[in-house]
Structure 1
Amino acid sequence: MKKIVLASLMAVLLVIMAACGSDDKETGTESNKKEDTTITFGVTPWTSTVPPTKIAKLIIEDMGYTVEEVNADVGNVVIGLGRGDLDVFMDLWLPVHEVKIEKNKDNIEALSISYDNAALGIVVPTYMTDINSVSDLVGKEDMFNNELYGIEEGAGTTPTINELIDSYGLDMKQITSSEGGMLAQAKRFISDEKPVVFYGWRPHTMFNKYDLKMLEDEKNHFEASTVTVFGNKELKEKAPEVHAFLSNWNISIDDMEELIEVLENDGTDPEELAREWIDNNQDKVNKMLGK
């Protein structure tokens, strides 16, 4: 009888040990699968792209995945999403970028709204008291050397600004370069309180650094944007956990401007700042993670 009981106990122990070994193997396999899966983010040269990308990157790395960043202009980022070369972009502005999305709609999807009511349009310094709308520029173009400063040529707003110039009959040319180049020119004029007109948007520290006003656009070329996270449609199958997290993603426009201001003024490492935001907003992070 004792032999039968002992044999039964040994059999139970063997089953338990096999189950534990199986669990360990499955856990290890899952961990290795994550490590072998690379999530690739598209990153534009805009200041608004950096904070959300770094925050999401660190959270996804904490899940156990490898994350890479690929720098490109927004047009190439959307193309990369469509081809599957990129998995995620955190900073698509709607309706500004709708044309770019339309060309790749079969392969990309909106995952979540990062923040909305992001104002954008044409701005001038507040010391230009007689210029309060785009129509006020008509007949005064020479005050600005017939130049309106924009960002990079491939940006979604570049053709919109050209359309605005044409529709108002402005004798002006849009000067494109980059966000930094545009702001450097604006700063040069503002420091001498000279006339200057350029493209502006929120979230951005330009409104903290300078006294600016957004011109009324009577023809509605610009409207407040909804900043949206987009991903390749294969992401859900590739990394369901990442897809679920990004589908719950959101951050306030006020947080965004604070983060951008710290990056620009303090020279803080972007990933250090992102980690600090995560630590200070763990309740928000947990909600995005579905915890």
Structure 2
Amino acid sequence: MKKTVILITIFLSIAMYGCTPSGGSEATGNSNGAENEKKNKPTLTLGVTPWTSTVPPTEIVKIVLKDMGYKVEDTEADLGVTMAGLSKGDVDIFMDYWDPQHKPYLDEFSDSIEVVSTSYDDAARGIAVPKYMEDVNDVGDLKGIEDTVNNEVLAISESDPTVKEIPKLIDIYNLDMEMINSSEAAMLSAAKSKIEKEEPVVLFGWRPHSMFNLLDIKLLTNKKAPEVLTPSSIHVLAHKELKENAPEAYEFLSNWSIPIDDIEDMIIKIDNGEDPEEIAQEWIDDNQDKIDEMKNSK
């Protein structure tokens, strides 16, 4: 009887030891390891500027980073505040840096901000008019008809570096026009009001944007001064410590790219009232192989 009791006690001790963390059950160890790894990953903050082009890539990256185990937040502000936040580490990632027009900001904070990758190239920008202005195809064609458009070029906020080249273009072509600044929404609303009545109007246009679909406009050529309002390339920026603090996120972002046509298609859907997160998830589902490659390129 004593031998039986002793044997039972031994067996129970072994079973209990195998269930404890120190006993190292493989399943428990793996589960705790994965949980600890997730807990050790930092919260990442993405900067969001009030531009339609910022939303699709930001939403995609938020979903992917969450799937990778990171907690993700975003903070909305204008470009200057976003860049300052990146320089201080208050913002970790910004998905919509435009070169060359935003370069002055990068030059100011180059010691603490890194260009991680290129999202897409050849984002055209310039002076735009409705397609029904058939005789106006180059900026020079506006000479002599400035009064038909109230001597105005409608543009976005004067604080945006990209519009600083518009007065240069006006001077180069000696046009009797001035730049009228407002928000992106106000500019598009004013242009739409004119276009609905098929009146002449001149505005600042750029890709990727839904304005070409919404307003049926065209960008004018710029034969006399091609060095002004050149196409942009769009990049991902990160605070300099992202590589050390979140190496997996950094690896993914360093391989990030997306076609400009895909960005524009998503912008149009979002402008039509579709949910940005659902649009982003749809793109991920359609491009999962590409996402996996960007995450595991080593």
Task: Give the TM-score of the pair, scaled to structure 2.
Answer: 0.86
Residue of structure 1 aligned with 2:275, choices 269, 276, 282: 269
Aligned pairs for 1:137-148 within 5 A: 137-148=142-153
Are residues 1:46 and 2:51 paired?
yes
Aligned position for 1:205: 210
User: What do you get for the CA RMSD once the two structures are aligned?
Assistant: 2.3
Percent identity, aligned pairs only, is 49
Q: Which amino acid is the alignment partner of residue 254 of structure 1?
A: D
1:194-237 Cα distance to aligned partner (Å, 9 max, x none)? 11111111111221233322111221211121111111111111
One-letter amino acid matched to 2:107: E
Partner Cα separation in structure 2 for residue 159 and residue 196 of structure 1? 20
In structure 2, stretches of 5+ residues that fail to align are 1-9
Post-superposition Cα deviations, 1:145-190, rounded to whole Å, max 9, x if no partner, equal 1211111222121212232223333332212212111111111111
Counterpart selection for 1:62 from 64, 67, 74? 67
Structure 2 CA distance for aligned equivalents of residues 15 and 82 of structure 1: 43
The DSSP-based 3-state class of the residue aligned with 2:53 is coil
What aligned pairs does 1:110-259 form with structure 2 within 5 A after superposition?
110-217=115-222, 218-220=224-226, 221-259=228-266
TM-score, length of structure 1 as denominator length: 0.88
Letter in 2 for 1:271: E
Q: Is the 1:92–1:227 contact (alpha carbons within 8 Å) kept by the matching residues of 2?
A: yes
CA contact (8 A) 2:21 2:29 kept: no
> For 1:80-137, what per-residue CA distance to the aligned partner results, in whole angstroms no more than 9, with x for missing partners?
2122221111111111211221111111111111111111111011211222222222
- 2:83 maps to what in 1? 78
- Structure 1 CA distance for aligned equivalents of residues 237 and 256 of structure 2: 11
Deviation string for 1:59-94 (max 9, x for gaps)?
001111111111111222222212222111111111
* Deviation of the 1:23 alpha carbon: 5.6
For 2:191 and 2:241, the matched residues in 1 are separated by 42
1:286 and 2:292 aligned: yes
| CA displacement 1:27-81 (0-9 Å, x = unmatched) | 33322112xx211111111111100000000100111111111111122222221
Aligned residue identity for 2:276: P
Q: CA deviation at 1:281?
A: 1.4
CA distance in 2, matches of 1:100, 1:214: 27
Instruction: Return closer, same or farther for 1:85/1:16 CA change in 2, 3 Å cut-off.
Output: closer
Q: Which range moved further: 273-282 or 42-51?
A: 273-282
The answer (yes or no) to whether the contact 2:92–2:242 under 8 Å persists in 1 is: yes
1:3 — aligned with what? none
Of residues 231-240 and 51-60 in structure 1, the stretch that sits farther from structure 2 once superposed is 231-240
Q: 1:62 to 1:168 in 2, by over 3 A?
A: same
| Residues 75 and 155 in structure 1, CA contact (< 8 A), matched pair in contact too | no
